[in-house]
Chains A and B, each alone.
Chain A
């Protein structure tokens, strides 16, 4: 029987080199990930910390509340209405199978208040305002406007990031609540006006089954999403790459990261709050 030839020194060296190369690559990925997480952590710490250190730039906060909140009203109202109408329609046909269409009101309300209102409104705000925030800050970075603030011995985070986060904290719970309210009305339009569920049953059961805790949990979620979206979009814009391509990449990443983070965090918030 032929014996296997022991590997030559050169072959052993090549194998060791390949393993070392793979380990180095893995190490580089882990280190870069840790560095990114560290940067995010420090930026978050600084941004949230500065909310509590005066002076708060009230005029910029008001401007951002108008931009994130007031200018999202139409899109929130529209999506809220249709989300509620779909819930009314789907809920009615599902509940009819169990003969429980009387519970359409609470089903629509609970879905909206605890889940769809906060999540969908946050996703809509990400698409409408988050991308614009990332692009605006990104352009300020590449045109050296952020450097100009630093040169004036002013902290750019205080001027550009903090007002957005405060505006997110103020606007998102209100937008989420509006989404849910209009959604409940949408469910009423389809369930009661179109499909014939009794109006008193729709609203009466809602009062019995929807607890104040549900409303509170929905608001908590919106609050967290408000911080999350505004922070991530500011972070991506602030650390944009070079040129127009850098800003477009930062904007896309801001929207993708925020959308994914909303859904992931939603799960964890549910586990804690429910």
Chain B
């Protein structure tokens, strides 16, 4: 029997004022895969992620997580669904008044019955997993961009979620840090076996870790395939996007 998709997006429509962001986006995300969502700036990739976790309501369409529509039901139902998710925000979204340790401990303090000592141990462990040690007492503002992303990843992973959403995890980092964050995502995914949805601009590096790639363009999924096949796509728009050429069906705006 074919494996059931973990997340199903069905005919998603969304409009902000006069701007129509989605005109019927549909896709399936399988358990354990790393799905990269690519596309030009302003095509609504981050908005798409926020729909998946219920931060934005669609105008029309459904988002099913394990077969359940997340937008239908009470706020308690949505909260239950969200407990399956972790999210790495573009800017990290670390609580700037809390230290690194308190930031990572926050979900544990609020969502578990662990003792202070157990939380301290768990934080140290996850910080080690993301390659950061000895920064527990620092405030987010005292960290570099790459370190902030690592702390944010640690916070997103600390409750061992089933699905992790990454909103441009490598934007604004130098090429070596990009490589190291991508390696970290691949390693942690292999370790914790979560399903990952990554919005990224890092072409072609993202193809190294993605199981499948979906390209959002003009409100629909223009192409969705395995990373290898996506790169060989015959669609001229996809080829132009991957090569970053000015000439082609996609016009620079």
CA–CA, A148 to B86, complex, Å?
9
Identify the closest chain B residue to A148 (Cβ). Answer: B93
- Contact: A148 with B79, CB < 8 Å? no
**Chain B residue contacts of A153, Cβ below 8 A:** 79-80, 82-83, 111
CA distance A151 to B51 in the complex (A): 12
Q: A148-B87, A151-B87, A152-B110 are in contact. Are A143 and B93 (CB under 8 A)?
A: yes
Interface string of B72-95 (1 = CB under 8 A from A): 000000011011011101110111
Q: Once bound together, how far apart are the Cα atoms of A58 and B50, in whole Å?
A: 31
B110:A154 contact, CB within 8 angstroms: yes
Give Cα A140–Cα B96 distance, bound, in whole angstroms.
9
Q: Is B190's beta carbon under 8 Å from chain A?
A: no
Residues of B near A154 (CB, < 8 A) are 110
- Specify which chain A residues have a CB less than 8 angstroms from the CB of B219 in the assembled complex: none
B53 at the interface (CB under 8 A from A): yes
Q: A143-B96, A145-B96 are in contact. Are A150 and B89 (CB under 8 A)?
A: no
Cβ of A144 within 8 Å of any chain B Cβ, yes or no, is yes
* Bound CA–CA A153/B86 (angstroms): 10
Q: State in angstroms the CA–CA spacing of A148 and B94 once bound together.
A: 8
Query: A152-B111, A153-B111 are contacts. A144–B82 as well, Cβ < 8 Å?
Result: no
Contact of A144 among B79, B91, B106 (CB under 8 A): B91
A147 within 8 A of partner (CB): yes
Query: Interface size for chain B: under 10, 10 to 19, 20 to 34, or 35 or more residues?
Result: 20 to 34
Give Cα A151 to B86, complex, Å.
7
Instruction: Please measure, in the bound complex, the distance between the C-alpha atom of A218 and the C-alpha atom of B90, giving whole angstroms.
Output: 48
A145 to B89, CA, bound (A): 9
- Quick one: which of A148-180 are within 8 Å of B by CB? 148, 150-154
Known pairs A144-B89, A145-B96; A151 contacts B55 (CB<8 A): yes
The answer to whether A152 touches B107 (Cβ under 8 A) is yes
CA distance A51 to B53 in the complex (A): 27
The distance from the CB of B140 to the nearest CB of chain A, in whole angstroms, is 10
With a cutoff of 8 Å between Cβ atoms, the chain B residues found around residue A140 in the complex are: 95
Report A-chain residues with C-beta under 8 Å of the C-beta of B94.
145, 148
**Closest Cβ neighbor of B156 among chain A residues:** A151
Chain B residue nearest to A146 (CB atoms) is B93
Asked if B111 and A148 sit within 8 Å, CB to CB, the answer is: no
A38 to chain B, nearest CB (A): 17
CB distance from B52 to the nearest CB of A (A): 11
Q: Which 9 A-B pairs have the closest CB atoms?
A: A144-B93, A148-B93, A153-B82, A153-B79, A151-B87, A144-B89, A153-B83, A145-B93, A152-B107
What are 28 of the A-B contact pairs (CB < 8 Å)?
A: A139-B96, A143-B91, A143-B93, A143-B96, A144-B89, A144-B93, A145-B95, A145-B96, A147-B50, A147-B55, A147-B89, A147-B93, A148-B89, A148-B93, A148-B94, A148-B95, A150-B55, A150-B82, A151-B82, A151-B85, A152-B82, A152-B107, A152-B110, A152-B111, A153-B79, A153-B80, A153-B82, A154-B110
Besides the contacts A147-B89, A152-B107, A153-B111, what 20 more A-B pairs have beta carbons closer than 8 Å?
A143-B91, A143-B93, A144-B90, A144-B91, A145-B95, A147-B55, A147-B93, A148-B89, A148-B94, A148-B95, A150-B82, A151-B53, A151-B86, A152-B82, A152-B106, A152-B110, A152-B111, A153-B79, A153-B82, A154-B110
